[in-house]
Structure 1
Amino acid sequence: MRTRMIRTGLATLLALGGLATSQAVTAQAADNPYERGPAPTVSSIEALRGSYSVSQTTVSSLSVSGFGGGTIYYPSSTADGTFGAIAISPGFTAYQSSIAWLGPRLASQGFVVFTIDTNTTVDQPDSRGRQLLSALDYLTQQSSVRSRIDTSRLGVMGHSMGGGGTLEAAKSRPSLQAAIPLTGWNTDKTWPEVKTPTLVVGADGDTIAPVATHSEPFYGSLPSSLDKAYLELRGATHFTPNSSNTTIAKYSISWLKRFIDNDTRYEQFLCPLPSASLTIAEYRGNCPHTS
């Protein structure tokens, strides 16, 4: 009888424990319905591909207005519901091919990614900013994958002139959840109006948009109350973002996940601030993040 009572008690405790675990998981999911993909690790954010298989579709410049078309990369499965979305602009005289590596790399982590061509290859940053926003509007309102996107979770990225355009887009549309200018170039050096969490990426060997006159003042002028960070790549040039780069990918994924998806599982890679290393000359930021 005593043995049966012990067994019954254990079974009850196990059942209650299972119920508590189930409730905790449910509560966590309810706390953040935007969380996508498995729990991250250093290896998962450094990997060439994340957990999602990726499909892509080409958008002709003839079928859109406000920008020059591009390529949409997106998770093939709809089992996890909708995803956040990011538009990415190339730099001065460049085409989407120069930033194409970011498409499948970010999409495989659980985003819809639109690498765009611009109206002309010599557009200035203000024009690049407007084109990034036009691309997001097309993506969310007209594209063939619009039903896969959560329109409240959008971000922008760009290289060089497109990086300057990234800041312009964030300034113009405060509802954006994340911005990442990559070795950005802009004649405007001050951005106190930006309300979008921004990761500024510079390169220590950049002679076209030197960090002292571009990325550093961009970062320094962002509001002190804003979630912001400055990553300076070591042994890098202005054109480093044009090739597959683990450091850029690692911190871009973490930033986009943390702020577009509000996924605090990625906070561990951003705070405490990463230390200088073989690939990082300097990293600044405000920790812990507030949004």
Structure 2
Amino acid sequence: MQQPPHPIVAASPSSPTGSAPASVRRRTGRFAALVTALAAVAGLGTLASPGAHAADNPYERGPAPTNASIEAQRGPYAVSQTTVSSLAVTGFGGGTVYYPTSTSDGTFGAIAVSPGYTGTQSSISWLGPRLASQGFVVFTIDTLTTLDQPDSRGRQLLAALDYLTQRSAVRGRIDSARLGVMGHSMGGGGSLEAAKSRPSLQAAIPLTPWNTDKTWPEVTTPTLVVGADGDTIAPVATHAEPFYGSLPSSLDRAYLELNGATHFTPNSSNTTIAKYSVSWLKRFIDNDTRYEQFLCPLPQPSLTIEEYRGNCPHTS
């Protein structure tokens, strides 16, 4: 706020030459002080405005994160869910949609999640409310058959995203430009297939992934590969590690190997998987740099982390 010029006051016989009478000086001083105070308040209001930072990133959702908030069983959003019958869709086997109940923050990014070989959506259902409560629409799907291979699961993940954004009852809550995929085992291999087929995806997280294709140089989607040190079904040496290693080195990518874990660790609630999945999805689907603190510097080995490799997220 710019102060208006002080009033020009002529000298009077009762005051020193060139100065205003005392009563006028007092009024002028009080006015100037008032203007200065108002300007200071306006400045503070601008700095403290809760929308000021969000205006820089229109996709930012939820309060500033803490280690406790991303490890919590539930995030800041209340969650609702709806069941999608296999009879109502084509290209995949239906599933359950979890979504933030409130619409006051606008639209959200969306993620489709595939189970593994012989699995159903119940095997990855814990991810639904956990991720949705952080500000995403999450679709845990059933596949056409429980024996579907990774390439088929990749196509089904994309079909599920298309249903979500085009036909589902929650399509109005979704930003169709901000989508991601996750999956366990062959579903994890399927998430790589989906990212390869649709480069517009913003994030991919294969969980203890299995695939006969070991190289993924075509993937341009930021990808977090999660392996398990005790996996004997998709050993990291022949699956998760070469998958990660074959991703372009210029890509935003990371490899998280869980300590004391098995192939089926992603089938039940796991704080380490949730923590880094939330951080990855927030950073790359919501473009929310507040979550970089959990990805860079790279996490160190711990009771739950055997190894973590990757690069700090590129700043766009």
Please classify the TM superposition score into its range, dividing by the shorter chain length: over 0.9
Match in the other structure for 1:168? 193
Match in the other structure for 1:8? 34
Match in the other structure for 1:86? 111
Cα distance between partner residues in 2 of 1:55 and 1:20: 35
Match in the other structure for 2:122? 97
Match in the other structure for 2:5? none
Match in the other structure for 2:93? 68
Residue by residue over 1:253-285, the C-alpha shift from the partner in whole angstroms, topping out at 9 and shown as x without a partner, is: 000000000000101000110111000000011
Secondary structure of the residue aligned to 2:254 is: strand
Cα distance between partner residues in 2 of 1:72 and 1:261: 19
Cα distance between partner residues in 2 of 1:33 and 1:183: 33
Residue by residue over 1:114-133, the C-alpha shift from the partner in whole angstroms, topping out at 9 and shown as x without a partner, is: 00000000000000000000
Q: CA deviation at 1:31?
A: 1.8
Match in the other structure for 1:285? 310
Cα distance between partner residues in 2 of 1:276 and 1:225: 24
- Given that residues 77 and 100 in structure 2 are in contact (C-alpha distance below 8 angstroms), is that contact kept between their aligned partners in structure 1? yes
Structure 1: where are the runs of 5+ without partners? none
Residue by residue over 1:130-180, the C-alpha shift from the partner in whole angstroms, topping out at 9 and shown as x without a partner, is: 000000000000000000000000000000000000000000000000000
| 1:60-209 → structure 2 map (5 Å cutoff) | 60-209=85-234
Cα distance between partner residues in 1 of 2:32 and 2:265: 65
Match in the other structure for 1:269? 294
Match in the other structure for 2:11? none
Secondary structure of the residue aligned to 1:216 is: helix
Structure 2: where are the runs of 5+ without partners? 1-25
Q: CA deviation at 1:95?
A: 0.3
Secondary structure of the residue aligned to 1:241 is: helix
* Segment of structure 1 superposing worse, 111-120 or 9-18: 9-18
Residue by residue over 1:170-191, the C-alpha shift from the partner in whole angstroms, topping out at 9 and shown as x without a partner, is: 0000000000000000000000
Cα distance between partner residues in 2 of 1:109 and 1:97: 20
| 1:255-266 → structure 2 map (5 Å cutoff) | 255-266=280-291
* Segment of structure 1 superposing worse, 104-113 or 10-19: 10-19
1:288 and 1:259, CA in 2 relative to 1: closer, same or farther beyond 3 A? Answer: closer
RMSD of aligned alpha carbons: 1.5
- 1:46 alignment partner, one of 36, 61, 71: 71
Instruction: Give the letter for the 2:208 counterpart.
Output: T
Q: CA deviation at 1:290?
A: 3.6
- Given that residues 227 and 290 in structure 1 are in contact (C-alpha distance below 8 angstroms), is that contact kept between their aligned partners in structure 2? no
Residue by residue over 1:186-213, the C-alpha shift from the partner in whole angstroms, topping out at 9 and shown as x without a partner, is: 0000000001000000000000001110
Cα distance between partner residues in 2 of 1:168 and 1:103: 21
Q: CA deviation at 1:16?
A: 3.7
Q: How many residues align?
A: 290
Instruction: Give the letter for the 1:33 counterpart.
Output: P
Q: Rg bigger for which structure?
A: 2
Cα distance between partner residues in 1 of 2:32 and 2:308: 57
Cα distance between partner residues in 2 of 1:177 and 1:187: 24
Q: CA deviation at 1:13?
A: 4.3
Instruction: Give the letter for the 1:51 counterpart.
Output: P
Q: CA deviation at 1:222?
A: 0.2
Match in the other structure for 2:61? 36
1:19 and 1:155, CA in 2 relative to 1: closer, same or farther beyond 3 A? Answer: same
Residue by residue over 1:12-61, the C-alpha shift from the partner in whole angstroms, topping out at 9 and shown as x without a partner, is: 342242244157x5553222100001110000000000000000000000
Normalization by structure 1: what TM-score? 0.96
- Given that residues 46 and 52 in structure 2 are in contact (C-alpha distance below 8 angstroms), is that contact kept between their aligned partners in structure 1? no
Aligned pair 1:21/2:50, yes or no? no
Instruction: Give the letter for the 1:171 counterpart.
Output: K
Cα distance between partner residues in 1 of 2:45 and 2:274: 38
